[in-house]
Amino acid sequence: MKLHEYQGKELLRRFGVNVQDGKIAYTPDEVRGIAQEFGQAVVVKAQVHVGGRGKAGGVKFSTTPDKAYENAQKILGMDIKGLTVKKVLVTKAVDIDKGVEYYVGLIVDRNVQSYTLMACAEGGMEIEELAVERPEAIIRHRIDPITGLRPFEARAVALKAGFKGNLNKIATMMVQLSKACLELDCNLAEINPLFVDENGDPIALDAKVDLDDNALYRHQDLMHFRELEAEHPLEIEASNYGFAYVKLDGNVGVLGNGAGIVMTSLDVVNRAGAKPANFLDIGGGAKAEIVFNAIKLVSKDSDVKAIFINIFGGITRADEVAKGVIQALHEGILTKPVRMRIAGTAEEEAKALLAEVNSPLIQMYATMFEAADAAALEANK
């Protein structure tokens, strides 16, 4: 779950990270009010779930309340990488020319099976670009999951990265960031820029926090950060059903019983010359009703032109799957061609049920390749 900057800052503040005062606003009038209250230059910042807002014109320095009002007018409603700006963060501004911008961040690094701390003296710009252009400028340090980042390690990393300023304070901020990252089960926790002012003191000017959805059950107090309107409506519906569902950008709806078989199905659809419109795992032992719900969900996706169902019946009974498909057909929900392969437990019963219905919308194949080819053919028509 990606968090907005203001939410990320709220969390980092709990761990002691120094951030500028800031308030959220939804209208230019509110922005002017906040700027007046702060009584100093402010920055008006678009709150959307993407990076690179600055470059896109979504971050504007404002010397007066009227300038802040004008900037808010420009930013609110603006489109940044496909997302509409609905709210802005108004923060007290720092004088960026009187200091330096650094980068610090933690990510889950599968290669070292733990978090890796990254630090770089060239802050401000996006780390993904920097990693491509000048990878040697980024200092990496594996974090021991038992001890977390220790202050002496943080100081060593700060030195190696070439940070200037009060290194003790900077290292402390790195330790605070790392504590937040580990305790909150983040996929990513990043401060970019970490600004070091003329006195050498660090301030987090930006916060990018991405929480691990699979660990959210341990953080019920963070659930209110979830913004349903920012999520894909089908993903919300899928999570209500308890499905593992991911919206993709193709035209073949894909449905299978188990993450492995669904992944394979995505590959097979690609091989057949089409693109999957989604990943949908109905899980093991699914009854007809679950299959029915899954078809209902996938059918709502206007990108879907055909549905590929790939079931290997173990605990899942093929006849239950067939019943779910048939129910969807009878209730008028199934309007797109379904091409399926069902093998294993109760396969014969499933075939018999489908033969009885005998609808051109539903066709069974002996192998997943044939079924995927048939689905691709329908989808690409």
Write each residue from 108 to 137 as x if it is in contact with ligand GDP (CB under 6 A), else as -, in one continuous string: ----------------x-------------
Q: How many residues bind Mn ion (CB under 5 A)?
A: 2
Name which of residues 295 to 334 contact ligand GDP (CB under 6 A).
Answer: none
d(CA 135, CA 380): 42
Active-site residue flag, 190:
yes
Give residue number: closest CB to Mn ion: 206
CB distance 371 to 339 below 8 Å = yes
Q: How many residues bind ligand GDP (CB under 6 A)?
A: 17
Q: Helix 318-330 vs helix 347-357: angle between axes, to the nearest 10 degrees?
A: 20
Binding-site member from 68, 205, 277, 350 for ligand GDP (CB under 6 A): 205
d(CA 141, CA 150): 11
DSSP classification of residue 112: T
Give residue number: closest CB to ligand GDP: 54
Extract long-range pairs of 76-81: CB within 8 Å, 24+ residues apart.
76/26, 76/27, 76/28, 78/46, 80/46, 80/48, 80/50, 80/53, 80/56, 81/48, 81/50, 81/52, 81/56
Residue 177 binds ligand GDP, judged by CB under 6 A: no
Catalytic residue among 69, 102, 103, 115: 103
Write each residue from 180 to 199 as x if it is in contact with ligand GDP (CB under 6 A), else as -, in one continuous string: ------------xx------
The identity of residue 19, as a single letter, is V
Name which of residues 171 to 200 contact Mn ion (CB under 5 A).
Answer: 192
Q: DSSP readout, 182-237?
A: HHTTEEEEEEEEEEE-TTS-EEE---EEEE-GGGGGG-GGGGGG--GGGS-HHHHH
Residue 206 binds ligand GDP, judged by CB under 6 A: yes
Active-site residue flag, 103:
yes
User: Which of 188, 182, 191, 187 has the alpha carbon at shortest distance from 9?
Assistant: 191
Name which of residues 25 to 54 contact ligand GDP (CB under 6 A).
Answer: 43, 45, 51-54
**Least distance from C-beta 162 to ligand GDP, angstroms?**
18
Stretch that binds Mn ion, among 108-116, 204-212, 305-313, 353-361 (CB under 5 A): 204-212
Active site residues: 103, 190
* Residues within the interface to ligand GDP (CB under 6 A): 43, 45, 51-54, 59, 61, 93-94, 96, 101, 124, 192-193, 205-206
Given the rule CB under 5 A, which residues bind Mn ion? 192, 206
